[in-house]
């Protein structure tokens, strides 16, 4: 009978790893087969036993759009923004991507408590899969936006720069949502108040970004009406969600609106101008999103050792 101790004696100790040791987000790449499984499970189970099924991916944003368009566009006369319907919907899809990814990442550890307590696996997988699932649900909304924009002449004004802007907006939103999700998801294991804080943040996110209004209204209110320092506008524009919404407006709303604006006798940039330093702010907000990811990962790794105990 072979003594197993002799077999393991010839294996260098460097080949072994400490049980339960995490390498952070690197493990997400190493365990990508499990990540695919979690994403597939999250996508297929979301609308299980639902009559409408995937139609909810269209119904929910459509309901949001109708409420905001009727209340703000018609009752409060914000439809002075040309092609306000496309302006509004292109911002809503960005907010929905951020909101779903951030919220689900925050609750991902608590929601998978049974696995966390019994099996070792990289806990970051749950947050990353939550953000990826939100991206899958985001695709039908973008598809609907594309169809509307194509009907309004978007294809005639499409540019490579606009497509790069849309991709940059998606990247910023997903990285920012993942960073905040890791941070609050780790805190939420010990203090469930984190979920309520996140709900409050998501309530403010829609109103703190130029989804329902133009960024020039913020500038007019801060500089002209309140007489506050103009640097507050710069801080507002450095919000990653604000920048992502503006990038989507640049990629979809502006090309789809160009023909309408020209037909009405206006030059496009005179009506709703681009925010200053749009390209530079894109780089800055991308760095802010990456910084949020690094901070969230650092806090997550510091607290994850007690997840099983706290759960």
pLDDT of residue 213: 87
Least confident of 6-10, 154-158, 205-209, 287-291: 6-10
The residue that leads in pLDDT, 31 or 277, is 277
Segment 248-262 shows an average pLDDT of 83
The residue that leads in pLDDT, 74 or 85, is 85
d(CA 206, CA 92): 8
Give residues with Cβ within 8 angstroms of 129, minimum separation 6. Answer: 35, 38, 39, 42, 108
pLDDT of residue 118: 76
d(CA 101, CA 190): 21
d(CA 258, CA 214): 17
The two structure tokens encoding residue 148: 């509307």
Give residues with Cβ within 8 angstroms of 310, minimum separation 6. Answer: 189, 190
d(CA 110, CA 308): 10
Give residues with Cβ within 8 angstroms of 40, minimum separation 6. Answer: none
Segment 69-98 shows an average pLDDT of 83
Per the prediction, the chain carries an average pLDDT of 83
pLDDT band for position 269 (cuts 50, 70, 90): very low
The two structure tokens encoding residue 147: 């169809």
**C-alpha angle 129/135/141, rounded to 5°?**
155
Least confident of 30-44, 51-65, 108-122, 246-260: 51-65
**C-alpha angle 221/162/291, rounded to 5°?**
65
pLDDT of residue 112: 81
Residue 75 predicted with pLDDT over 80? no
Inter-residue contact 259 to 101 (CB < 8 Å):
no
d(CA 123, CA 204): 28
pLDDT band for position 187 (cuts 50, 70, 90): very high
Closest CA to 233 of 217, 249, 247, 248: 217
pLDDT of residue 267: 46
pLDDT of residue 134: 93
Closest CA to 92 of 252, 302, 230: 252
Residue 18 predicted with pLDDT over 80? no
Residue 268 predicted with pLDDT over 50? no
d(CA 49, CA 215): 42
Inter-residue contact 181 to 104 (CB < 8 Å):
yes
d(CA 181, CA 130): 9
d(CA 105, CA 38): 13
């Amino acid at each position: 009978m072979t003594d197993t101790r002799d077999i393991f004696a010839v294996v260098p100790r460097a080949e072994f790893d400490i049980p339960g040791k995490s390498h952070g987000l690197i493990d997400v790449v190493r365990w990508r087969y499990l990540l695919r499984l979690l994403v597939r499970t999250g996508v297929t189970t979301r609308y299980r036993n639902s009559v409408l099924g995937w139609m909810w991916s269209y119904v929910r944003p459509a309901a949001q759009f109708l409420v905001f368009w009727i209340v703000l566009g018609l009752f409060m006369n914000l439809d002075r923004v040309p092609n306000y319907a496309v302006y509004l919907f292109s911002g809503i899809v960005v907010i929905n991507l951020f909101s779903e990814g951030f919220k689900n990442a925050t609750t991902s550890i608590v929601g998978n408590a049974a696995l966390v307590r019994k099996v070792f696996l990289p806990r970051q997988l749950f947050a990353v899969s939550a953000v990826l699932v939100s991206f899958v649900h985001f695709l039908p909304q973008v598809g609907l936006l594309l169809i509307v924009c194509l009907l309004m002449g978007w294809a005639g004004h499409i540019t490579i720069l606009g497509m790069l802007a849309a991709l940059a907006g998606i990247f910023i939103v997903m990285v920012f949502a993942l960073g905040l999700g890791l941070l609050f998801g780790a805190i939420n294991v010990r203090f469930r108040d984190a979920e309520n804080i996140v709900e409050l943040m998501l309530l403010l996110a829609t109103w703190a970004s130029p989804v329902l209004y133009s960024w020039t209204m913020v500038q007019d209110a801060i500089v002209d009406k309140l007489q506050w320092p103009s640097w507050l506008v710069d801080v507002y524009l450095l919000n990653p969600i604000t920048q992502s919404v503006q990038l989507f407006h640049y990629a979809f709303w502006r090309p789809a609106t160009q023909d309408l604006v020209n037909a009405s006798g206006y030059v496009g940039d005179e009506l709703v101008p681009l925010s200053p330093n749009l390209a530079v702010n894109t780089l800055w907000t991308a760095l802010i999103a990456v910084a949020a990811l690094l901070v969230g990962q650092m806090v997550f790794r510091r607290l994850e050792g007690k997840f099983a105990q706290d759960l």
